[in-house]
């Protein structure tokens, strides 16, 4: 009836595709990571480098700076998205006229291609063309120029990410909120709990798995952002918004330092997996606890 | 939460809140539209948020461009085929992960997801080499083919789909399958007759979001295609660089890429909330 062959038959196509198009390139990167290989170098041939590339990484200020920037970017973006997404999701739980219409509007940014999102925000912020610098200067006398000021550029990329991805968080948390049981809330109201107490002691714990799952998926994607930021700032001014994905792209393509770029992405991938694993462990631990009860 | 729904009639404040937050959401899109509706001359000088006269040349220019038509067609084919493939395979895989005893199941589940974590930039090189030199049969290469992109997008869409569907399939009681098996159904019948109808919201959302991700992908499409299989996102970047910065044309193209995505989103609205549980267990 349910033979053990069947389960592998179901998994086989997925594993096969992931192997051919995911694992094979990964193995290649793994090998190259231990090679000196730069087609623009004096010696363009590939040769074994031992752990040279990895040793170089530890002292590479640009790499470490880019890594730090990426973490900062992901932290601010994901945190704001969760907070904002929660508020919006909670607001969508009420009934009000035109709910479907507003929900559609709030889902819109999600379907825009990152490259188009970057272009849109560039149009908004580019000096001489965009309304944002123009009106900020005219009404508030504030000089807004993301190709000049580091903080403004960083801040703009974060805001862009929030604009683009909060809809996903809102939808996820909305789905989670709608599936929560009613009884604890009614009971708490009868017991005279105030809104904050209900939020802190009931909503939040019940919502924790959904929040963790959302943080997980957002974190993962924020850490590998390339297109939108590349389109908006090109990584500049200087290296102020050169997040790790962009940095690796620069090392591998314009500089053709394949070996070093591979080592860099291996370390980045490793760090991403560790961070996501910790989040995931939190999720699974909870699931097992539930099962044990 | 329903406990907040004290009165059926919403207050003026709620509606105001939604109007305000909608305006904030729409400003960038509106500006993109405004730029697409202006001629070059109108754009510079003091940026005006108003559209005084509709400059149609950006749109007619883009729409009559054979490259644009081909890119659009490619994108639609690739995104649709990828979404269909991913949703089907993810349903199988999730069913197996959810219903069978598998050694190291949670690790396998997590491993599939790690495929989405890789920084895309560095995988461009091995994939380029694989596509031009290794995956070659006679004269046929995987490079610059739609099928190549369709399979490649599985690498980051399958993990997402499995992650999204997991919660959905886990939430369907196992007793349901057991009962069907007792009645003499085989695994295939259980999957199509019992699981499929119940998982439909989840499948719909997975399909839509994978479609959107495939539609939106840029880096791989730009590297692994040259002429025949170029997608609309690469076209978007091309319009920017080749023509200098022709903002009007680029904005018009960006607006046009929104149309299919909006159609897909419109189809999904009904399911989208019900289906998004993201592997989070139902309490």
Q: What is the CATH number of the domain that holds B169?
A: 1.10.3720.10
Cis bond before residue A237 (omega within 30° of 0): yes
Q: Does the structure show a pLDDT above 90 at B140?
A: no
- Please spell the DSSP secondary structure of chain A, one letter per residue: ---HHHHHHHHHHHHHHHIIIIIHHHHHHHHHTTEE-BTTSSS-S-EE-TTHHHHHHHT-HHHHHHHHHHHHHHHHHHHHHHHHHHHHHHHHTS--TTHHHHHHHHHGGGGS-HHHHHHHHHHHHSTTT-HHHHHHHHHH-----TTT-HHHHHHHHHHHHHHHHHHHHHHHHHHHHHTS-SHHHHHHHHTT--HHHHIIIIIHHHHHHHHHHHHHHHHHHHHT--HHHHHHTTT-STTTT--HHHHHHHHHTTS-BHHHHHHHHHHHHHHHHHHHHHHHHHHHHHHHHHHH-
Best mutation target among A37, A116, A229 (most B Cβ atoms within 10 Å) is A116
Domain that includes residue B75, residue range: 58-275
Residue B67 sits in the same domain as residue B2: no
Residue B127 sits in the same domain as residue B177: yes
Residue B20 sits in the same domain as residue B99: no
CB A261 within 8 A of CB A108: no
Number of domains chain B is built from? 2
Residue with tokens 């869409």: B157
Identify whether A159 is part of a domain: yes
pTM of this prediction?
0.86
| Cα–Cα distance for residue pair A160/B13, rounded to 1 Å | 27
Under the banding of pLDDT at 50, 70 and 90, the label for residue B240 is low
Beta carbons of B122 and A264 less than 8 Å apart: yes
Chain B nearest CA to A135, separation (Å): 9
Chain A nearest CA to B272, separation (Å): 8
Under the banding of pLDDT at 50, 70 and 90, the label for residue B273 is low
pLDDT digits (tens, 9 = 90+) for B247-268: 888 888 888 888 888 888 777 7
Comparing A42 with B106, which gets the higher pLDDT? B106
% of chain B exceeding 70 in pLDDT: 88
Of B27, B269, B279, the CB nearest to A104: B269
Q: Read off the CATH number of the domain in which A239 is found.
A: 1.10.3720.10
The residues with which B227 forms a beta bridge, in sequence order, are none
Of A119, A129, A249, the CB nearest to B236: A119
| Cα–Cα distance for residue pair A210/A215, rounded to 1 Å | 9
Identify whether A24 is part of a domain: no
pLDDT recorded at residue B75: 92
Identify whether B281 is part of a domain: no
Q: What is the dihedral of CA A266, A271, A273, A274, to 10 degrees?
A: 140
Residue B45 sits in the same domain as residue B64: no
- Here the tokens at position A183 are 């009884």
- Which residues from chain B sit within 8 angstroms of residue A103, using beta carbons? 269
Identify whether A90 is part of a domain: yes
* Domain end among B55, B71, B95: B55
| Three-class SS state of B136 | strand
Beta carbons of B1 and A114 less than 8 Å apart: no
Residue B51 sits in the same domain as residue B62: no
Identify whether A171 is part of a domain: yes
Beta carbons of A182 and B2 less than 8 Å apart: yes
Of A7, A134, A244, the CB nearest to B100: A7
CB A231 within 8 A of CB B222: no
Residue B203 sits in the same domain as residue B79: yes
Beta carbons of B119 and A244 less than 8 Å apart: yes
Beta carbons of B212 and A97 less than 8 Å apart: no
Residue B109 sits in the same domain as residue B221: yes
Q: Does the structure show a pLDDT above 50 at A24?
A: yes
**Which residue of chain A comes nearest to B212, CA vs CA?**
A111
* Domain end among B55, B77, B101: B55
Domain that includes residue A105, residue range: 60-292
Identify whether A47 is part of a domain: no
Mean pLDDT of B159-188: 84
| Cα–Cα distance for residue pair A273/A282, rounded to 1 Å | 14
pLDDT digits (tens, 9 = 90+) for B81-110: 999 999 999 999 998 888 887 778 888 888
Number of domains chain A is built from? 1
Mean pLDDT across chain B:
81
């Amino acid at each position: 009836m349910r033979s053990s062959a069947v389960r592998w038959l179901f998994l086989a196509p997925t594993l096969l595709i992931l192997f051919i198009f995911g694992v094979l390139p990964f193995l290649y990167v793994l090998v190259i990571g231990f090679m000196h290989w730069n087609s623009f170098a004096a010696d363009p041939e590939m040769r074994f480098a031992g752990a040279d590339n990895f040793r170089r990484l530890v002292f590479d200020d640009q790499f470490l700076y880019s890594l730090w920037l990426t973490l900062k970017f992901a932290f601010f973006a994901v945190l704001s998205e969760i907070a904002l997404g929660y508020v919006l999701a909670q607001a969508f739980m009420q009934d009000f006229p035109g709910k479907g219409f507003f929900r559609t509007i709030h889902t819109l940014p999600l379907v825009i291609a990152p490259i188009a999102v970057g272009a849109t925000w560039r149009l908004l912020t580019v000096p001489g063309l965009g309304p944002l610098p123009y009106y900020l200067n005219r009404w508030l006398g504030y000089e807004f120029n993301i190709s000049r000021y580091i903080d403004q550029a960083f801040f703009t990329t974060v805001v862009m990410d929030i604009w683009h991805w909060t809809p996903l968080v809102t939808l996820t948390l909305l789905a989670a909120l709608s599936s929560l049981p009613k009884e604890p809330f009614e009971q708490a109201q009868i017991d005279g709990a105030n809104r904050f107490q209900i939020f802190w002691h009931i909503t939040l714990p019940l919502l924790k798995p959904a929040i963790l799952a959302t943080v997980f998926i957002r974190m993962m994607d924020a850490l590998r952002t390339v297109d939108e930021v590349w389109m908006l700032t090109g990584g500049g001014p200087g290296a102020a918004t050169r997040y790790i994905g962009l940095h690796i792209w620069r090392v591998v393509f314009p500089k053709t330092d394949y070996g070093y770029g591979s080592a860099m992405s291996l370390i980045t991938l490793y760090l991403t997996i560790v961070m996501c694993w910790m989040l995931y462990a939190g999720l699974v631990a909870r699931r097992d606890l539930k099962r044990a009860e | 939460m329903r406990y907040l729904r004290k009165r059926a009639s919403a207050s003026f404040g709620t509606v105001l809140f939604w109007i305000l937050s909608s305006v904030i959401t729409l400003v960038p899109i509106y500006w993109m539209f405004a730029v697409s509706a202006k001629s070059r001359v109108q754009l510079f000088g003091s940026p005006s948020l108003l559209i005084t006269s509709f400059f149609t040349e950006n749109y007619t220019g883009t729409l009559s461009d054979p490259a644009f038509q081909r890119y659009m067609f490619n994108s639609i084919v690739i995104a649709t085929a990828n979404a269909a493939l991913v949703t089907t395979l993810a349903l199988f895989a999730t069913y197996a992960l959810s219903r069978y005893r598998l050694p190291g199941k949670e690790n396998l589940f997590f491993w599939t997801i790690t495929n989405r974590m890789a920084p895309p930039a560095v995988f461009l090189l091995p994939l380029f080499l694989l596509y031009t030199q290794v995956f070659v049969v006679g004269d046929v290469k995987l490079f610059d083919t739609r099928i190549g992109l369709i399979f490649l997008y599985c690498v980051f869409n399958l993990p997402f789909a499995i992650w999204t569907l997991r919660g959905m399939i886990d939430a369907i009681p196992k007793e349901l399958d057991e009962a069907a098996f007792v009645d003499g159904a085989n695994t295939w019948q259980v999957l199509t007759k019992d699981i499929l109808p119940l998982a439909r919201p989840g499948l719909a959302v997975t399909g839509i979001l994978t479609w959107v991700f495939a539609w939106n992908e840029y880096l791989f499409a730009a590297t692994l295609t040259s002429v025949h299989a170029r997608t609309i996102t690469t076209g978007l970047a091309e319009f920017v660089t080749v023509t200098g910065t022709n903002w009007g044309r680029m904005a018009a193209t960006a607006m046009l890429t929104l149309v299919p995505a909006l159609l897909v989103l419109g189809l999904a609205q009904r399911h989208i909330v019900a289906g998004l549980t993201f592997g989070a267990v139902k309490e």
